[in-house]
Amino acid sequence: MIRHLSPRSVTIVLVETAWILLSLAVLFALERTLQQSSLNLAQLAQQVGFAAVLYLASFYYCDLYNFEHMQVRRELISASIRTFSVLAIVFAALLLFTHWLEFSSDLILLHLAATTGFVLGVRTHIDGVLVRLGLTSRVAIVGTGPEGRRLAQEITRRSELAQEVCCFVGPEEIGTIPLGSRRGGTLTPLPVIASRELADFAATRRISRILVATADVGDMLPVDDLLTCKAQGFEVLDGHTFYERLLGRIFLADLSPRWLIFSEGFVRSRGSRFLKRLIDLIVAGGVLVVTAPVAALVAAAIKLGDGGPVLFRQTRVGINGTLFSLYKFRSMRIDAERDSGPKWAEVDDPRVTWLGRWLRSLRIDEIPQAWNVIRGEMSFVGPRPERPEFVGMLQSVIPYYDYRHAVRPGITGWAQVNYPYGATVEDARRKLEYDLYYVKNLSTLMDFFILLRTVKIILFGWGSR
């Protein structure tokens, strides 16, 4: 299961896709009419469909669909300019060197300019439209302690979720709780209502979802009041389930073993395991064959560089805690850890050679790990394998850390495509939230989605060290 999409994200994608398809069809038909050419519906569908695929692929790979970060207008304008510059180059190349597109260059430029304006208009006005249409979900949070406040702050910070926190719920009405705004400005006081008033308040304020901060309420859960709300049609979720669904992470703070035991997921049938292994073997074999010429050149360059070994072996922790040797093209000096011992990589790590820096930025140093995949020690997608020296330390300070070893580690993974490289305990904690989400919701579709995200990261060089 991939995280649930918010009404805001779905609306943006649908509206922009509809605009691209309809406007391209109208312009193509208009051009044919002005040229007094016959309009072939099959040709129209082919040309519009091909151009639309180019648009949507560019939107994705230039980060216009990264709704978490496209909140500041400056970032939105920058991403839009980047996207349509790429599209202009692609369309120009197609018009000059191929006959795949029958649009004129003037028509393409006109459509690019119009679509740029349309996208900026949609993105800057979508929140107000959703509020007027009632598509913004209103939320009440049961619990006034640290978990409830943390949950409210996260929802408020992530405006792409189209969620509005309306109130907190406690045993009694105790005034207000200040909550930071989405832009980090002034604090907004939110009322704290008594649980016995929740049903009437939810109906009056059109609240659609009630979130329970279980760690805050403890044994004081207002069962009768929540059952009344649920019977009246309001959705009641525990905070961790909501957090998982919308953010694609399992929030570790105040997480109870009971939730892990009774929540859905963590189910992997024999058939799904067989399919994942089969795909791993096919893809790994293909990667080794296709990249053989590049691998040979890289091996020669490393050998000529300092005369040291081409491959780098390092012990990592695999499935069920078993140890294995991970293979990579060597990107560090031969004596990289002679004085320091095991340590995480750093930004501009002095241990990395000039060639290694290039190999890492393009992820070429990871190619030999395809052999680890064939040997069954790794998968293409899974939690990134860690060194045993770090695993022992992290297990002692981060709860549930060992559960990431329930599946084969991967060359890429859900944590890798959602969080930059981490070199601290807090980074490891945050990445574990993504790893646990992957282990809980593992599927072939999710693996495919992660691979698509990985391609984007490789193309733009984000997150490498």
Cβ burial, residue 110 (10 Å; 0-12/13-18/19+): middle
Q: What is the pLDDT of residue 465?
A: 46
Beta bridge partners of 312: 328
Q: What is the DSSP string of 191-257?
A: EEEEGGGHHHHHHHTT--EEEE-HHHHGGG--HHHHHHHHHTT-EEEEHHHHHHHHHSS---TT--H
* 152 contacts: CB under 8 Å, gap ≥ 6: 141, 165, 168, 177, 179, 190
Alpha helices by DSSP H, listed for 331-413, are 354-361, 369-374, 388-397
C-alpha 66: how far from chain center: 8
Torsion region of 417: left, alpha or beta (phi above 0 gives left; psi -120 to 50 gives alpha): alpha
C-beta of residue 328 within 8 angstroms of C-beta of residue 376: no
Q: How far, in Å, CA of 66 to CA of 158, rounded?
A: 12
Q: What is the pLDDT of residue 219?
A: 80
Q: How far, in Å, CA of 220 to CA of 202, rounded?
A: 20
1: closest CA among 444, 390, 384, 461? 444
3-class secondary structure, 312 = strand
Angle, in degrees to the nearest 10, between helices 354-361 and 292-306: 160
Token pair listed for 426: 């807090």
Q: What is the pLDDT of residue 186?
A: 65
Token look-up 């022992």 returns: 392
C-beta of residue 314 within 8 angstroms of C-beta of residue 328: yes
Token look-up 């922790």 returns: 317
Could you tell me the CA-to-CA distances from 148 to 154, 206, 330, 422, 439 in Å, in that order?
10, 20, 47, 27, 26
For each of the chain's 465 residues, which pLDDT tens digit applies? 445 566 778 888 999 999 999 999 988 888 778 777 776 788 888 889 999 999 999 998 888 887 766 555 677 888 888 899 999 999 999 988 887 787 788 888 999 999 999 998 888 888 777 767 766 788 999 999 888 998 888 888 777 677 889 999 998 877 888 887 555 556 788 999 999 999 999 999 889 899 999 888 888 889 999 999 999 999 998 888 888 887 788 988 778 888 888 888 888 888 889 999 999 999 999 999 999 999 999 999 999 988 889 999 999 999 999 999 999 999 888 776 666 667 666 666 778 888 888 888 888 999 999 999 999 999 999 999 999 999 999 999 999 999 999 999 999 999 998 888 777 889 999 999 999 999 999 999 899 989 988 888 877 655 444
The vertex-24 CA angle with 133 and 108, nearest 5°, equals 125
Token look-up 């990445």 returns: 431
299: closest CA among 361, 351, 368, 363? 368
The vertex-302 CA angle with 297 and 303, nearest 5°, equals 100
Q: What is the pLDDT of residue 463?
A: 46
Q: How far, in Å, CA of 196 to CA of 294, rounded?
A: 68
Q: How far, in Å, CA of 292 to CA of 363, rounded?
A: 15
Q: What is the pLDDT of residue 418?
A: 87
C-beta of residue 12 within 8 angstroms of C-beta of residue 126: yes
C-beta of residue 293 within 8 angstroms of C-beta of residue 364: no
